[in-house]
């Protein structure tokens, strides 16, 4: 980690931004897409890691080694036992925390990058710092009261951030958030889903709709189900990033529950949400996402390649 931090601070220009990205993902064990919308219970992380640390596991491995008689099994156990005896643990929870703490130790030096001339590097630095400083990710419940006034900010991105943070805090440690405040938070997320920001969040691979959807699914009890459904419906047809293709398949199933009639409808005959979904897929940066749903699109009588989608959407948009 110190070596990567030195590259970020004074390395070749082309490597500095990528290094900050790498440091961020090492810090959070590549869990951006999931943990960012539910908050991080660092104390819980530490408690889980303590249960599988080398001090706890070493006696168990020594016991297993003493009882083992098969040569290959003994060789494997001896190797792992040596690793644990050297102060390590084979458990991913322990190693993830070591990585998190190693990046944390470099933060004081990396703060200087917030004043760097490279705007993209400043953004990556702020993004990294958020995993250790942002109220909505690691903040204590006491910060909820301080966050609430930002629901009235003039900047819609600030209102979205406040709503997201309140929901994360409420879910993380049971912060008491009344139905009225949760309702305001849901309203802001709905507005954000309907009117995307000029500048998007960098979380969840820059996909604000996937981020909002996961935040809504993490809501504690108390929010109006109809309002939540309205917000989720606004997110449904927007596919900016989908790591495993599950959001895309769910959107196709929900928005096209039955095969299209014959002859197939024109793009302009589709409802707005259907148009939005096919438009997002047509211009999507990852062609594999369309290929992963090609069979279902074909069965529905819809264009099932990116080229066909571009032709279908483009031709009717200009008609």
Q: Of 282, 215, 204, 209, nearest to 243 (Cα)?
A: 204
Model confidence over 287-311: pLDDT tens digits?
899 999 999 999 999 999 999 999 9
Better pLDDT: 90 or 32: 90
Per-residue CA distances from 248 to 62, 154, 239, 277 (Å): 48, 33, 7, 9
pLDDT, mean of residues 211-237: 87
Kindly report, residue by residue over 47-82, the tens digit of the pLDDT: 988 889 999 999 999 999 999 999 999 999 999 999
pLDDT of 203 > 80? The answer is: no
> Nearest-5° angle of CA 8, CA 10, CA 16?
35
pLDDT of 29 > 70? The answer is: no
* pLDDT band at residue 114 under the 50/70/90 scheme: very high
Domain boundaries along the sequence of the chain: 1-52+91-133, 53-90, 136-235, 246-317
Alpha-carbon distance of 53 to 70, in angstroms, equals 27
Question: What rounded mean pLDDT belongs to the chain?
Answer: 87
| Close Cβ partners of 230 (under 8 Å, ≥ 6 residues apart) | 190
| Residue range 78-110, pLDDT digits in tens | 999 999 999 999 888 888 889 999 999 999 999
In 3D, which of 298, 301, 296 has the Cα closest to residue 260? 301
> Residue range 18-39: average pLDDT?
76
In whole angstroms, what is the distance from residue 185 CA to residue 167 CA? 7
């Amino acid at each position: 980690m110190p070596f990567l931090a030195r590259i970020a601070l004074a390395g070749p220009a082309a490597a500095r931004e990528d290094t900050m990205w790498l440091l961020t993902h090492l810090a959070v064990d590549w869990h951006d897409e999931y943990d960012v919308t539910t908050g991080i219970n660092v104390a819980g992380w530490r408690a889980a890691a303590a249960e599988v640390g080398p001090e706890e596991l070493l006696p168990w491995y020594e016991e297993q080694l003493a009882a083992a008689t098969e040569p290959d099994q003994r060789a494997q156990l001896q190797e792992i036992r040596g690793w644990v005896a050297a102060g390590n643990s084979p458990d991913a929870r322990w190693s993830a925390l070591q990585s998190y703490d190693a990046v944390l130790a470099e933060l004081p030096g990396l703060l200087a990058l917030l004043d760097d001339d490279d705007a993209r590097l400043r953004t990556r630095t702020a993004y990294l710092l958020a995993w250790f400083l942002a109220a909505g990710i690691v903040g204590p419940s006491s910060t909820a009261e301080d966050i609430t006034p930002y629901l009235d900010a003039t900047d819609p991105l600030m209102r979205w951030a406040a709503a997201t943070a309140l929901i994360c805090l409420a879910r993380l440690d049971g912060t008491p958030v009344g139905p009225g405040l949760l309702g305001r938070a849901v309203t802001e997320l709905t507005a954000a889903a309907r009117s995307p920001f000029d500048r998007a969040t960098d979380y969840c691979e820059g996909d604000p709709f996937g981020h909002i959807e996961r935040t809504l699914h993490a809501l504690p009890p108390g929010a109006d189900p109809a309002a939540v459904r309205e917000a989720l419906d606004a997110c449904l047809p927007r596919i900016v990033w989908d790591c495993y293709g599950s959001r895309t398949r769910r959107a196709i199933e929900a928005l096209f529950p039955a095969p299209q009639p014959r002859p197939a409808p024109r793009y302009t005959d589709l409802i707005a949400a259907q148009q939005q979904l096919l438009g997002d897929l047509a211009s999507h940066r990852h062609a594999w996402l369309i290929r992963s749903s090609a069979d279902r699109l074909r069965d529905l009588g819809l264009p099932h390649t990116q080229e066909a989608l571009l032709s279908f959407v483009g031709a009717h948009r200009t008609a």
